[in-house]
Structure 1
């Protein structure tokens, strides 16, 4: 950082030595000391409000992998779907103890919760998770992300926002009463 800057925002472009990808940030300095750092690009990882703890953890772990490896990211998004199924009471094992495949669990979740079919999510996840099926490229990821966000939004995010809106409305009505 340049010593001539005593107060204000300093913008930086950083290049990762490992993956060679860039990031942009800005640092507020006061008397040459950094006080505040704000990441401008890529956008910081944001976990939507309303997700149960396990789903939020799996989603956060997946988002951290997003820029590095499409196959790893897609596989981790499959773990998010597994966590959602478990949270909604969809069993992960048969009575004999054998695992139930994600596609079957997701089909049950879709029926139980009245969602539109999202079998493309498990199809892309399977291609990513199994080397003999091929692999995903960066251009494939937006499809999978949209399907995952659809599930998360409809099961958790929108109901949480609705609850906050109802609470806000009640609070405003109470405040307006004489």
Structure 2
């Protein structure tokens, strides 16, 4: 008899939001709360994307396409098993691309005050995304629309508080 806990959901959750909202911090906590594996979306970026962002150059849609496809493939492979993956997924078209690859994905949109997010970005160490790109992130952001499966959760509070709110909202969404 296996002692491995079974996931509480088989849904694939994409943790989305602008840089600095805490996708990398909150994602694993939500995954743990839901009993699911976590994948870091930044790990799916081609080296050229990381170099471009490190140089302070925003990615364009053609840069994002292979990254979104890689995340979509991971989500597709997790269909029926569940998982949590981070991806900024700022535009509706990006989320549509992820849904095309993995129908049934739901989105956890981490939202917050620009000042708070900028402060958090300034405090983090060793990340390739400079604070200078935050304006381009907000300019690109298209929040979840009513016809998109997902929830929006404010990022004020501690990571544990945010993750608890997010997990509760996702459970409520799943019914």
Q: TM-score, normalised by structure 1?
A: 0.26
Of the two structures, which has the highest relative contact order with CA contacts closer than 8 Å and spacing of 6 or more? 2
Larger Cα-atom Rg: 1
